[in-house]
Structure 1
Amino acid sequence: MHHQPHTMTISRRIAQSVALLCSIPLLLIQFRLYLPPADVAGPGRIPPDVVAQLRFLRGALDRGAGEEMQLLFPEGFFFTHVLYGLAWVDVGATVAADDPLRAQAITAAWWAADRLDAPAALAPFSSTLDPPFGVFVVGWGTWLRTGALALEAPDQRAAEQVARVIADCEALSAAFSRSATPFLTSYPNQAWPVDSVVGIAALSRCNDLFEARYGDVIARWIAMAQERTDPTTGLLSHRADPQSGQPIDSARGSSQSIIVRFLPAVDAEWGLEQYRRFREQFVTTVAGLPGVREYPHGQEGVGDVDSGPLLAGVSFSATTVTLGAARAWGDTRLAEPLRLGGEFLGMGIDIGGEKPYALGVLPVGDAFLAWSKTAPLWQAAQPAPTFDDIAPWWWRLPLHAASLALIALIWLPFRRSSRISV
């Protein structure tokens, strides 16, 4: 019996050590809210932790993360690989041609592109669609492959890779030319405008790589798409009728955030108008922290596999992708709070040169975040557009307060026990 106080003291010290281990990270992550701007954070304006993110992703993919994500939604395998490759394309495009990262980016991008032909990647899609396997597969795949080709000198490109890209561009062009609607199908009798936006952007990059042969197809698509916007928001809808292309439902944040990321490659003037509409109708703040709604202001709905769970109407997936879209439009007033808030809430930890977020439990989320963080900043010849602030000056304060409250909660039992002992 006389050993009980000593045992209680040891148990208390162990508990205090655990509390301290939990408190220290909560204190340290406060500094993530004050990281330097992403465009000056590292060589070639690449956030210095992105390569560590990509290193984690490659290891996760090698361990079967694509197959695991496939169990969550049909495009899980494809998306996780293609976004990994696209993030490397953006890294390669940012650094100098003689930077070792450029060669590493080319190798990684082609590795990811080859994985898009794997049976697991194509299994959810139908070869009977036009183009075969649908505009989602061919559009995203061509966007990745054209990006990889753009990193290489013309005399260094492999003939079979060039031939594959040209064949896919021709297939996309022919499918859009044959279609009475601008929105091709991704699954039988199912059309999502976002997938066709990616396909048209890929054709635009084909024009940049080779002779401009798809200008008429792109111009026709733009005219047809502008006639089929959602009348409520003036944006492209989330889903469209596969026969007419008319909206089936309203615009939604999970698809719109991708659309406005790609529109600079399609039509900069129209794209900027669409981005401003999106920003006005979908971007919001929750306790000062900016986020992106899944449904426009004034409209409520439930989360699904596209949006993920909604918190106060905010979609974490749409918010993550909007970081990249904001960077693409030079909208640092939105991009920086989104980036810093993501660093804080995502709890990314660099362990042994690898940096997963949220303990790496959702690699496709890491892939979306890496792709968004590497988005090239506004690159047009004219000055970047100007945008109003969204986040108030005090947007960090609620995050600080929540962290301190959690730390106080962790230590509360020790304060009570000390009173009892007295």
Structure 2
Amino acid sequence: MNIRLGFRPELNMTPDGIVNQDVLHQLYFLKEELHTRQAGEQMQQLYPEGFLFIYSLYALTWYDLVKDLKYSSPYYKEAIQEMDWVVQRIESDEAKSIFSEAQEIEYGAFYTGWSNLVLGRKLLLQKPVDRSVENIRLFKFRCENIAGFIKDSETPFATSYANQAWPADMVICVTSLAMYNHLFEPKYQYATRQWIKKVQQRMDTVTGLIPHYVHAQTGYPEEGARGSSQSLINCFLPEIDSVFATNQFVRYKQFFLTRRLGLPGIREYPEGEFGVGDIDSGPVIWGIGGAASVVGLRVMSVHTESDVAVGLRNSIEGFGVGWTSGNQKKYLFGVLPIADAFIAWANSGPAIKAFMLPDWRRDFLIYSTLTSLAIYLFLYWMWRKNK
């Protein structure tokens, strides 16, 4: 564990730009799992949106890996090929089957948000001349649906399932509008401002953050802010509105960023509040949320909190048992590919250029040394007693 806390990713200098080899190896593991082992179908058996989530994260990680490379790069060409394939998968009847079409936004906020995010990222990656007419049509259609909902609805949070609304899903939807303004002539600035105004009237009263779960008709909180959704929300808010994003990020750090044995972690519940893990949070150990901390790595990277980002990244390397074999890298022995997809996406965020000072691991080293010494002395005592 102490060795892994000193981890640094391998960056490969190519004629077409810098490639993060560790992320590339993670993608190659996921590529085999998705293409040959039906990992999407397997994850759907475990999680309500496992199929859509793992495919979306896989495509988004390819986007992050190659977005700064030249078009001539073989990795760029491979990324476009894989994203094309993912778009086909998430537009399939299989992907849509668990979502009801008859909602305020067609197929609901979760499906629309993630499918349109992948579509928009793919369009951003391509030269205008290479963009599919059908992809453009579908992306614009969904953006119109999202903007129409914001204009006509009392609540800023569309449902993902009948009478069930999670604000984080709508944040992904609104990110589509921000991407539209980059891809085409800007037209959704007013819709975005309108959405933020409605959101600010429905914040969690304890933390001042966007709530985890809300009333489907009014949008007012039914469950306060939680680390798993907050980490996801704070990854995307900077694309929507930088001022609002900064305000939310400061509060996010205040209520959710903490340390255990000297290592950073993201709480699943705000300081002073107790809760257990569920399907959204993943495991919650000593108050630290698994999903919240993995996605929290990307949040810290997006917001240029390099020291915390490195701490989270390297803690994940240690506790997640990161292992590279050949051209593939997996975590937790590869038994849960959706976890690998989240870690790959978190690792592919903006480059972490700063590294922690040498004494960063000091506290954990002290704790681990004392623990090891105590175990050694106990075993020695047992050996002497038995002898």
The TM-score with structure 2 as length reference comes to: 0.91
Structure of higher CA gyration radius: 1
* 1:35 aligned residue: 7
Q: What SS class does the counterpart of residue 49 from structure 1 fall into?
A: helix
In 2 relative to 1, CA 402–256 (structure 1 residues): closer, same or farther, beyond 3 Å? Answer: farther
CA distance in 2, matches of 1:95, 1:283: 33
- The answer as to 2:303 corresponding to 1:335 is no
Where does residue 31 of structure 2 map in the other structure? 58
1:190 pairs, out of 157, 164, 186, with 164
Say whether 1:240 aligns with 2:240.
no
1:92-145 superposed Cα distances (whole Å, 9 cap, x missing partner): 213233322112112112211221123332222101112111011111111111
Cα separation, 2, equivalents of 1:252 and 1:173: 26
Q: Structure 1: give runs of 5+ residues left out of the alignment.
A: 1-28, 379-383
Contact 1:189–1:242 (CA under 8 A) maintained in structure 2: yes
Aligned letter for 1:31? I
* Counterparts in 2 of 1:407 and 1:83: CA distance versus 1, 3 Å: farther
Number of the residue aligned with 2:186: 212
Matched to 1:266, the amino acid is I
Q: Quick check: 1:316 aligned with 2:284?
A: no
Counterpart for residue 42 of structure 2: 68
Q: Distance in 2 between matches of 1:406 and 1:151?
A: 54
Residue by residue over 1:142-170, the C-alpha shift from the partner in whole angstroms, topping out at 9 and shown as x without a partner, is 11111111111111112222222112222
Name the CA distance, whole Å, in 2 between partners of 1:240 and 1:70.
25
Q: Letter of the aligned partner of 1:297 in structure 2?
A: E
Q: Which residue of 2 aligns with 1:259?
A: 233
**Is the partner of 1:243 in helix, strand or coil?**
coil
The equivalent position to 2:59 in structure 1, one of 85, 99, 104, is 85
* Separation (CA, whole Å) in 2 of partners of 1:395 and 1:109: 43
Counterpart Cα distance in 2 of 1:403 and 1:298: 28
**Which amino acid in 2 is paired with 1:48?**
Q
Please say which of residues 164-173 and 313-322 is displaced more in the overlay. 164-173
Which string of whole-angstrom CA distances, capped at 9 and with x for unpartnered residues, describes residues 28-69 of structure 1? Answer: x64332233x5x844455532111111111111121111121
Residue 131 of structure 1 pairs with residue 105 of structure 2: yes
Q: How does 1:1-400 map to 2 (within 5 A)?
A: 30-36=2-8, 41-43=11-13, 44=17, 46-62=19-35, 63-377=37-351, 394-397=362-365, 400=368
Specify the code of the residue in structure 1 equivalent to 2:310: E
Q: Residue in 2 aligned with 1:15?
A: none
Q: Match of 1:56, as an amino acid? A: F
Shift of 1:349: 1.2
Residues 1:311 and 1:215: Cα distance change in structure 2 (over 3 Å): same
**Contact 1:139 1:172 (8 Å CA) reproduced:** no
Q: How many residues align?
A: 379
- Identify the structure with the greater strand proportion: 2
Would you say the 8 A contact 2:20–2:65 is kept in 1? no
- Confirm or deny: 8 A CA contact 1:92 1:106 kept in the other structure: no
Distance 1:237 1:217, change over 3 A: same
SS at match of 2:362: coil
**Structure 2: which amino acid aligns with 1:394?**
R
For 2:244 and 2:186, the matched residues in 1 are separated by: 20
For residue 266 of structure 1, report the CA deviation from its aligned partner: 0.5
Q: Which 10-residue stretch deviates more, 82-91 or 391-400?
A: 391-400
Partners of 1:345 and 1:335 in 2: CA distance: 15
- Give a deviation string over 1:266-324, Cα, whole Å, max 9, x none: 00111011011101110111111111111000111111111112111111111000101
Instruction: Give the letter aligned to residue 151 of structure 1.
Output: L
Q: Could you tell me whether the CA contact under 8 Å between 2:261 and 2:364 is conserved in 1?
A: no
Coordinate RMSD, CA, aligned: 2.7
Kept after mapping to 2: 8 A contact 1:46/1:94: no
Task: Give me the TM-score of the superposition, normalised by structure 1.
Answer: 0.83
Q: 1:401 aligns with which of 334, 348, 369?
A: 369
Q: Which stretch shows the higher mean deviation, 44-53 or 227-236?
A: 44-53
Q: Spell out structure 1 runs of 4+ moving beyond 3 A.
A: 40-47, 398-409
